[in-house]
């Protein structure tokens, strides 16, 4: 049944204050309260404008913003639909919000990554299947080879693939997307750490840190997981000052 065929509580007039944002909020809450579900077709711009008591331009602008966020899909000539599934575009507003946060605290990013990484490790230890462990070990071996090669950029990319494999083993797509966001936010710090460790002749320590992570997941070693994240190479910020 299409949304326009039944009366919905979100289809009521709104006032004139921040009209576009209110349209966005109204549609967002409709999705939260399941009045609109993934794959549902929205009423037409004309129908929404009439229900909300606002101009079509405000409806059009609100829809444009939600499309840019990956929340809505415009399928011509069928109409506008609620997106089905997660899109990378959905993470962008949060990414830019954190980037533009003027507090600019490395400690905040450190704590955020520690919290996310530990959650992912716990799920990976619990849910990892044999194929996940195979893929994780494969990424580990590629990373170890790149560390031996000494090319910082290649090591950085291989490191990212290794941590992505841990996220995959956690079998939680939402947490995986958040982890990807955190890796993006900490990319400058991670690159500096990798560069400095290689330049300081600490490649062996870098390799061991990742080998230990692999065995934490494989052996389901919960006790070692927290200690590694708190004391591991990522959190030794003094390495950035070398």
CA dist list (Å): 9 to 25, 35, 83, 97, 181:
13, 8, 21, 31, 34
Mean pLDDT of the chain: 84
**pLDDT value at position 39?**
94
The 10s digit of each residue's pLDDT in 119-157 is: 899 999 999 999 999 999 999 999 999 999 999 999 999
Identify the band that residue 235 occupies on the pLDDT scale cut at 50, 70 and 90: very low
* CA atoms in the 13 A half-sphere facing the CB of 40: 19
Q: Which two tokens stand for residue 161?
A: 């693939």
Burial class of residue 221, CB neighbours in 10 A (0-12, 13-18, 19+): middle
- Looking at residue 240, its pLDDT comes to 47
Under the banding of pLDDT at 50, 70 and 90, the label for residue 177 is: confident
For tokens 């690159």, the residue is 191
> In the chain, what are the domains?
3-85 (1.10.10.10), 91-241 (1.20.120.530)
Residue 230's pLDDT band (boundaries 50, 70, 90)?
Answer: low
Given pLDDT bands bounded at 50, 70 and 90, which one contains residue 237?
Answer: very low
Distance, CA of 159 to CA of 175 (rounded, Å): 18
Place 242 in a pLDDT band, splitting at 50, 70 and 90: very low
Percentage above 90 pLDDT, the chain = 51
Cα 136 to Cα 164: distance, rounded to the nearest angstrom: 9
| Residue 241 confidence class, pLDDT cut points 50, 70, 90 | very low
35-56 burial, b at 16+ Cβ within 10 Å, e below that, comes to: bbeeebbbbebeebbebbebee
DSSP SS3 for 18: coil
All residues at 6 or more sequence positions from 239 whose CB lies less than 8 Å from its CB, including other chains: 193, 196, 197, 200, 233
What per-residue confidence (pLDDT) applies to 4? 47
Instruction: Look at residue 55 and give its three-state secondary structure.
Output: coil
Cis peptide preceding 77, ω within 30 of 0:
yes
Nearest in space to 8 (alpha carbons), one of 30, 28, 24:
30
pLDDT digits (tens, 9 = 90+) for 46-64: 999 999 999 999 999 999 9
Report which listed range, 70-79, 107-116, 137-146, is most confident: 137-146
- In this model, does residue 7 exceed pLDDT 70? no
Q: What is the DSSP letter of 86?
A: -
Place of tokens 């950085």: 156
């Amino acid at each position: 049944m299409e949304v326009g065929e039944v009366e919905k509580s979100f289809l009521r007039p709104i006032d004139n204050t921040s009209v576009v944002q209110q349209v966005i909020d109204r549609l967002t809450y409709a999705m939260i309260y399941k009045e609109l579900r993934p794959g549902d077709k929205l009423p037409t711009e004309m129908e929404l404008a009439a229900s909300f008591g606002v101009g079509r331009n405000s409806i059009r602008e609100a829809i444009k913003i939600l499309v840019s966020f990956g929340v809505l899909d415009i399928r011509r000539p069928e109409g506008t639909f609620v997106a089905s599934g997660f899109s990378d575009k959905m993470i962008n507003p949060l990414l830019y919000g954190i980037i533009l946060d003027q507090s600019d605290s490395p400690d905040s990013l450190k704590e955020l990554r520690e919290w996310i990484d530990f959650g992912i490790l716990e799920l990976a230890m619990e849910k990892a299947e044999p194929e996940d462990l195979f893929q994780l070990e494969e990424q580990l071996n590629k990373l170890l080879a790149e560390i031996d090669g000494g090319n910082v950029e290649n090591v950085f990319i291989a490191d990212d693939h290794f941590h992505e494999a841990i996220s995959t083993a956690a079998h939680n797509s939402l947490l995986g997307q958040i982890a990807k966001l955190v890796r993006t936010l900490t990319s400058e710090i991670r690159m500096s750490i990798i560069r400095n460790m290689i330049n300081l002749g600490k490649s062996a320590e870098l390799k061991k840190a990742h080998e230990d992570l692999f065995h934490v997941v494989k052996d389901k070693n919960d006790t070692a997981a927290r200690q590694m994240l708190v004391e591991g190479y990522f959190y030794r910020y003094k390495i950035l000052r070398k």
